[in-house]
């Protein structure tokens, strides 16, 4: 029985650090938030209704008036259909899916059209598969199935290069990160692994063009 991380060694390769060279499969560190199933928001204890000034904010569970408050705030600026969402965040490894499109720089902002160039890029979040004591966080069989590409939303990342412990990249947890918040690790997935993951990303998000991922999943399963 073979695993993807055993077939391709090295699993990681050196990568450039210049912005113009950012590409799919490069590994960075970036601040990433924890998605919450329960919606928590920041609400003020003190509101000057005449001036619209709010202060002394505390976290509370979103109620019936979430995103439909009676009054807007002028300081901090917040419309009645807006909220300050409470999220926890930490820096973690991420895999770049798509760098910002340089062609958008030429798009001019006019009138109320909004800002087109946001300098954002989607990344897949990477989570450690071991706790601080070095024990696995997951069942061995589950990890082995990931290593054999039996789940299209998961990718096993072996310890090495920029990955300090065995980890799992999750395609079902993709976030947009400002490009200036990406800290290059000087590593990327190797070319062969990148080709497979590119196919995996296409397959997971569209259900199409997953031939290479599917072929390797079949080979590793046999």
The CATH number given to 4-35+91-221 is 2.30.30.110
Q: What is the pLDDT of residue 12?
A: 98
- The answer to whether 126 and 157 are in contact (CB under 8 A) is yes
Strand 40-48's sheet: what is its strand order? 53-61, 40-48, 84-85
Residue 112 is given by DSSP the state T
Residue 67 in tokens: 């995103």
Q: Is 25 helix (H, G, I), strand (E, B) or coil?
A: coil
Which ranges of the chain have pLDDT less than 70?
1, 105-106, 108-114, 209
Q: What is the pLDDT of residue 40?
A: 95
Q: What is the pLDDT of residue 217?
A: 87
What does the pLDDT look like over 168-192, one tens digit per residue? 999 999 999 999 999 999 999 999 9
Domain ranges, ordered by start, for the chain: 4-35+91-221, 40-85
Give the whole-angstrom CA distance, residue 164 versus residue 12.
13
pTM of the shown model: 0.88
What does the pLDDT look like over 146-163, one tens digit per residue? 999 999 999 999 999 999
Close Cβ partners of 146 (under 8 Å, ≥ 6 residues apart): 154, 155, 156, 168
The residue count of the chain comes to: 222
């Amino acid at each position: 029985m073979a695993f993807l991380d055993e077939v391709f060694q090295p699993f990681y390769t050196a990568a450039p650090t210049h912005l113009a060279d950012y590409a799919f499969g490069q590994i960075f560190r970036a601040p990433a938030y924890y998605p919450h199933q329960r919606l928590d928001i920041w609400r003020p204890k003190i509101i000057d209704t005449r001036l619209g000034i709010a202060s002394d904010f505390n976290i509370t569970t979103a109620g019936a008036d979430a995103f439909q408050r009676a009054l807007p705030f002028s300081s901090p600026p917040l419309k009645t259909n807006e909220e300050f969402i409470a999220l926890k965040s930490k820096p973690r490894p991420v895999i770049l899916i798509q760098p910002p499109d340089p062609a958008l720089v030429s798009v001019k902002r006019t009138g109320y059209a909004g800002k087109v160039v946001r300098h954002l890029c989607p990344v897949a979040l990477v989570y450690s598969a071991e706790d601080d004591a070095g024990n696995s966080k997951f069942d061995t069989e589950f990890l082995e199935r990931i290593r054999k590409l039996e789940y299209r939303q998961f990718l096993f990342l072996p310890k090495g290069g920029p990955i300090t412990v065995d980890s799992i990249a999750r395609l079902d947890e993709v976030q947009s990160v400002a490009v200036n918040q990406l800290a290059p690790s000087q590593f990327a997935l190797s070319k062969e692994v990148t080709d497979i993951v590119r196919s995996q990303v296409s397959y997971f998000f569209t259900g199409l063009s997953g031939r290479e991922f599917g072929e390797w999943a079949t080979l590793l399963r046999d």
